[in-house]
Amino acid sequence: MPHYFDSAHRAEIETLRQRLTARTEWPTWLLLIGVYTGWFSIVLGSAQLGVWWSTLLLIPLVVLWLSVQHELLHGHPTRWTTLNKILGYAPFAVWYPYTLYRDSHLLHHRDEDLTLPGLDPESRYLSAERWQGSSVFEKSLHWLNKTVLGRFILGAPLALLALAREELQRLKTGERQAWLMWLTHGTLTLLMLLFIARYSVLPVWHYLLLISVPALSIAMIRSYYEHRPHAQPEQRTVLNEAGWPWRWLFLNLNFHLVHHDLPGLSWYDLPRAYHARREQWVARSGGFLVQGYGQLWRENGIKAIDSPKHPFH
């Protein structure tokens, strides 16, 4: 537990962890069962639902699956890494192998490196050197990606291009772990797509382009302004007081500073931990508080929220 928590705060967090809900993790087990059941039910029932109703139901379900995978990599609902990996390896979201997401995201939790290009794998900022070496077109794309609308439209394609570039390089160098990971993920993805082709009315291309990519685009809204450059690491992470639909889709990760300070705390305990000490969390964040994703849309729908170039890296 963080050293800067006082004894009363430590006791509150420990009480949360000792509750029956936290010990059994039944909400996360229910989520896992619900997502798996929901995905197979929609795919198998797509002939009755129709292509577009199936699409509208699958997109938020895949977004939720990405959030569930995030819980799994942080040690929920079990403390066994291999079991969590098995539970989370289903390629419903297609593009990111579970182990790649897990390993990259755990590196992101080194708070002293947050937002720093080349150190934080989830940084949305460029170093001064890379910025200077970018073309006008590339700079324009990065500026657009700093608007909410641009993030929604361009965020997923830009992330997938970067993923392809980085992982192809690893495969070219013959990195064994990369080959094993992509062969495993590729095989499971192929089996999933064959299942979709055989047992649903959804064309494979439709699932890839009109379900998985839009789901990734929605997930990009969550990470749009989770972090900002700041001299103090604890003031780089946002507290977003989002409404319930977003909190459910993102499993309360809008309380992002609470999650970074207490990464082992389950998704259902984050709001309780936040609201019990709201003023202290806001003070710790340096006032890095957003009143829901609607505020971001209103203020930065078509206006860049900050510069793509990191200010001090």
Show the tokens assigned to 10.
């430590």
Alpha-carbon separation of residue 42 from 46, 53, 168 (angstroms):
6, 9, 33
Closest CA to 104 of 32, 47, 159: 159
pTM comes to 0.92
Classified as helix, coil or strand, 207 is helix
- What is the β-pairing status of strands 289-290 and 239-240? parallel
Q: Where in the chain does DSSP place strands (E)?
A: 239-240, 289-290
Residue with tokens 């459910």: 248
- Grade residue 15 by pLDDT with cuts at 50, 70 and 90: confident
> With contact defined as beta carbons under 8 Å apart, do 101 and 71 qualify?
no
Closest CA to 202 of 17, 25, 37, 50: 50
Domain ranges (residues) in the chain: 19-300
- Grade residue 3 by pLDDT with cuts at 50, 70 and 90: low
Rounded CA gap, 305 and 227, in Å? 12
> With contact defined as beta carbons under 8 Å apart, do 105 and 263 qualify?
no
β partners of residue 289: 239
pLDDT tens for residues 74-127? 999 999 999 999 999 999 999 999 999 999 999 999 999 999 999 999 999 999
pLDDT tens for residues 223-279? 999 999 999 999 999 999 999 999 999 999 999 999 999 999 999 999 999 999 999
Task: Report the first-to-last Cα separation within the chain, whole angstroms.
Answer: 29
Classified as helix, coil or strand, 283 is helix
